[in-house]
Amino acid sequence: MGYFQGFWVTFKKLWDRRVTSEYPKVKRPKPIRSHGRHVLNRYEDGMEKCIGCELCAGVCPARCIYVRGADNPPDDPVAPGERYGFVYEINYLRCIHCDLCVEACPTEAITESKLFEFSFTNRPDAIYTKDELLVDDDGRPQRLPWEDWREGDDLHTSAWMRATSPSGSAAYEGRVQWSGELGYGVRAPEQGQAARVDLTPPTDATVTPEELDPSTMSEGESASDHEIAGGH
Amino acid sequence: MGDPLFVDGIDLGVVLFVVVKALLGFAFVLVGVILMIWFERKVLADMQNRVGPARAGKWGLLQTLADGIKLIFKEDVKPDRADRPVYRLAPYLSVAPAFLTFCIVPIAGAFGGDDNGTVELFGHETFLQVADPPVGVLFLLAMSSVGIYGIMLAGWSSGSKYPLLGSVRASAQMVSYEAALGLSVAAVVLLTGSLSTHAIVDSQADSFLDWNVWRTGVLPFAIFFVAACAELNRAPFDLVEAEQELVGGFHTEYSSIRFGMFYLSEYMNLITMSAIIVTLFFGGPAPAFGPDGPLLGLGWFVLKLVVFLFVFVWIRATLPRFRYDQLMDLGWKRLIPVALGWLLLLAAIRIGQDEEWFTANGFWNGTLIVAIAVGIAFICGVAILVAMRGSDRERIDEGSAELRKVP
């Protein structure tokens, strides 16, 4: 029979279910943590979050971000504080969507949406400037004519950040440690990591210095938290 | 017997009739090729858990047409070192025999009972096939040999190494398998007593038990099928265009519609070969059961054709490619001896019937002859086996000698 078993295999496959989706016609929902085109956020009062510190440019492994800060005009400040991002450019021919800029940003000014279906026909167009990256007056990402935004692309932006906490300690999973955004308010922390049982978010959004250091935690709390985090 | 169309002499009407028949036959094959390429891609895709062409037209039916149009508008590159006239001629040499072979296939007509597939159209009695030459089967073998010229010349005139290697492989392979092919066809011809394809179909029309597959004992059909695969340069015998070794094989240097013509001829040959299999072994347009009629005949013919086309695709989806020495071994050491032996056996049975070996009258005579024949067959078989073992051992020795040279 040996010679003919292969024929049975191919014949069975003939009736198998297809897993291919007809891509441009049918688009599957994107994973919750997918990384896409960047967005420059604003505070709920409309001020820009970017302070022009260039940490994102410094951390970028692809060297695709170019930032120049400038002093805020005293009579009409763009961002709270001393400085603001005067020039902000991302070259999408270089960007690898690693999210390190998001991680580095001290003010959560830059996050990544899930949009990846955008195209350009020349090199200058590949460089997004601040005009294009900044959210509009409603706080929503600008839907540029060459971009194909889908439902939910602007939600759960940079979700990994909203699921974990500084220094990656599972004890702080699910605690809000970021400021509100224009248009979205304070985004809820991501819930439901694999082993987490308690799905209700902690009520206190502020973190005390003692809590930040896991070694100062009480014995019982630490143990239960580690148990909950499931082999962190 | 021949086509009754020419019985009353040849006038303008008859000539027109023949021209129209040729055009319709050509259209049949062309449409067949378009659908076949789509069918092959679709079935292959299904067998490999893919979707296959799905964008052009309903279910991607127009994909082949789109590809063809694209090929026509592409640049026609001729290599600098090509032999221009031969380079231009080769694709046509490849397409023409492919179609000419199809001309001798009866594609419709009622064959059951006393009918012999004759149809009356516009006051002319005729067979529903483009031509019915008395040398039908010889014509088939001749045309499939001429087809080799297209491939050989294409490879040779390209002025490049890969095409040359591909075409040498192709011709060696086709020449080798032609022998097995011819011997298995001879079995059919022996039983029918005629070379005309029409007569061959007519002789197996009464019931599906009369089909030559059964009457020749299945083996010639199996050999014909394997040899046909090799003749068509299809998987698992597609060494001619083994991408890993030869880029595209003999048509590497061809582009645009010239490449398209090779592609066309390849699929024309595929359809023709399946049609020939149906004609020689499965009763052509004759129904397996149920009512009979000229158009029903066409239906039966297409049905049988599609079954074999599917099997060809199925084989391509399943079997890996043969190595070149395996290919030659299978052809020369297995298929040809077996086909030859089977042909002699059939011939012996035929003679036995004439000489009444199977009745009490000539029984002792027959037994004596059979005993002698079996003895000779045994000696021949042993001789062949010994020769094969010897050559195998020699090759192994050569191989190990080669290995010992390595420091």
Find the radius of gyration of the CA atoms of chain B. 24
Residue spans of the domains in chain A: they are 28-163, 165-232
Residue B289 sits in the same domain as residue B324: yes
Domain around B346: 75-354
Tokens of B79: 């290599």
Work out the burial of residue A85: count CB atoms within 10 Å of its CB; fewer than 13 is exposed, 13-18 middle, 19 or more buried. Answer: buried
Residue of B39, B40, B46 best to disrupt the A interface, most CBs of A under 10 A:
B46
Which amino acid would we find at residue B396?
I
Tokens of B358: 């199977």
Spatial separation of the C-alpha atoms in residues B144 and B137, rounded to whole Å? 11
| DSSP codes, B234-290 | -TTSGGGG-HHHHTTGGGTT--HHHHHHHHHHHHHHHHHHHHHHHHHHS-TTS-SSS
Tens digit of pLDDT for each residue in B162-206? 888 888 888 888 888 888 898 999 988 888 888 888 888 888 877
Tens digit of pLDDT for each residue in A49-68? 999 999 999 999 999 999 99
pLDDT of A200 above 50: no
Give me the residue label for tokens 């296959």.
B52
Task: Tell me which DSSP letter residue A118 carries.
Answer: B
Tens digit of pLDDT for each residue in B342-357? 888 888 888 888 877 7
Strands (E), B94-248: 118-121, 124-127
Residue B228 touches partner A, C-beta closer than 8 Å = no
pLDDT reported for residue B212: 83
pLDDT of B334 above 50: yes
> Contact, B255 vs B77, CB < 8 A?
yes
Torsion, Cα A80 A86 A90 A96, to 10 degrees, reads -40
pLDDT of A33 above 90: no
The whole-number average pLDDT for the span B1-22 is 77
Confidence of residue A209 (pLDDT cuts 50, 70, 90): very low
Q: Bigger pLDDT: A196 or A183?
A: A183
Residue B266 sits in the same domain as residue B147: yes
Spatial separation of the C-alpha atoms in residues B177 and B225, rounded to whole Å? 11
Find the radius of gyration of the CA atoms of chain A. 22
Confidence of residue A225 (pLDDT cuts 50, 70, 90): very low
Confidence of residue A232 (pLDDT cuts 50, 70, 90): very low
Spatial separation of the C-alpha atoms in residues B340 and B344, rounded to whole Å? 6
pLDDT reported for residue A192: 54
Residue B268: inside a domain: yes
φ/ψ region of B235 (left if φ > 0, alpha if ψ in -120 to 50, else beta) reads: beta
Q: Measured in Å, how far apart are chain B's first and last C-alpha atoms?
A: 71
Residue B253 sits in the same domain as residue B360: no
Q: Name the pairing type of β-strands A65-71 and A38-40.
A: unpaired
Residue B41: inside a domain: no
Residue B249 sits in the same domain as residue B273: yes
Tokens of B135: 């040398």
Contact yes or no for B317 and A22 at CB 8 A? no
Helix (H, G, I), strand (E, B) or coil at A12: helix
Residue B177: inside a domain: yes
The whole-number average pLDDT for the span B69-74 is 90
Residue B403: inside a domain: yes
Residue B375 sits in the same domain as residue B386: yes
Residue B270 sits in the same domain as residue B167: yes
Angle, in degrees to the nearest 10, between helices B336-354 and B161-192: 10
Dihedral over Cα of B354, B357, B359, B365: its sign: positive
Spatial separation of the C-alpha atoms in residues B324 and B342, rounded to whole Å? 26
Stretch (H or E) spanning A89:
strand A83-91
Dihedral over Cα of A123, A129, A134, A135: its sign: negative
The C-alpha of A184 sits at a distance from chain B's nearest C-alpha, in angstroms, of 40
Burial state string for A139-161 with b = 16 or more CB within 10 A and e = fewer than 16:
bebeeeeebebeeebbebbbbeb
Q: How many CB atoms lie within 10 A of CB B244?
A: 6
Angle at alpha carbon of residue B399, lines to B393 and B401, rounded to 5°: 105
Chain A residues whose CB is inside 8 A of the B47 CB are 10-11, 13-14
> Contact, B178 vs B145, CB < 8 A?
yes
Helix (H, G, I), strand (E, B) or coil at A87: strand
Residue B128 sits in the same domain as residue B249: yes
Residue A10 touches partner B, C-beta closer than 8 Å = yes
Q: Bigger pLDDT: A50 or B1?
A: A50
Helix (H, G, I), strand (E, B) or coil at B403: helix
Residue A137 main-chain phi, psi, to 5 deg: -70, -15
Residue B249 sits in the same domain as residue B368: no
Residue B253 sits in the same domain as residue B346: yes
Helix (H, G, I), strand (E, B) or coil at A46: coil
Residue B189 sits in the same domain as residue B325: yes
Give me the residue label for tokens 């005293």.
A74
Residue B26: inside a domain: no
Residue B223: inside a domain: yes
Give me the residue label for tokens 């014909």.
B224
Residue of B225, B318, B322, B330 best to disrupt the A interface, most CBs of A under 10 A:
B318
Residue of A nearest to B312 (CA): A7
pLDDT reported for residue A168: 57
Q: What is the 3-state secondary structure (H, E, C) of A168-213?
A: HCHHHCCCCCCCCECCCECCCCCCCCCCCCCCCCCCCCCCCHHHHC
Q: Bigger pLDDT: A199 or B129?
A: B129
Q: Which of residues 17-46 of A touch B (CB under 8 A)?
A: 18-20, 22
Chain B residues whose CB is inside 8 A of the A10 CB are 47, 314, 317-318
Q: What is the mean pLDDT of chain B?
A: 84
Cis bond before residue A209 (omega within 30° of 0): no
The C-alpha of B59 sits at a distance from chain A's nearest C-alpha, in angstroms, of 13
Confidence of residue A139 (pLDDT cuts 50, 70, 90): confident
Residue B307 touches partner A, C-beta closer than 8 Å = no
Residue B97: inside a domain: yes
Residue A6 touches partner B, C-beta closer than 8 Å = yes
Spatial CA neighbour of B131 closest among B103, B155, B112, B109: B103
> Contact, B248 vs B257, CB < 8 A?
no
Chain A residues whose CB is inside 8 A of the B46 CB are 13-14, 16
Contact yes or no for B51 and A19 at CB 8 A? no
Helix (H, G, I), strand (E, B) or coil at B293: coil
Q: Is the ipTM of this complex over 0.85?
A: no
CATH, domain range A28-163: 3.30.70.3270
Q: Measured in Å, how far apart are chain A's first and last C-alpha atoms?
A: 51
Angle, in degrees to the nearest 10, between helices B256-281 and B219-231: 170
pLDDT of A162 above 80: no
pLDDT reported for residue A46: 86
Helix (H, G, I), strand (E, B) or coil at A218: coil
Structural domain total, chain B: 2
pLDDT of B375 above 70: yes
> Contact, B201 vs B275, CB < 8 A?
no
Tokens of A86: 């005067």
Helix (H, G, I), strand (E, B) or coil at A111: strand
Residue B312 sits in the same domain as residue B406: no
> Contact, B42 vs B60, CB < 8 A?
yes
Chain A residues whose CB is inside 8 A of the B50 CB are 18, 20
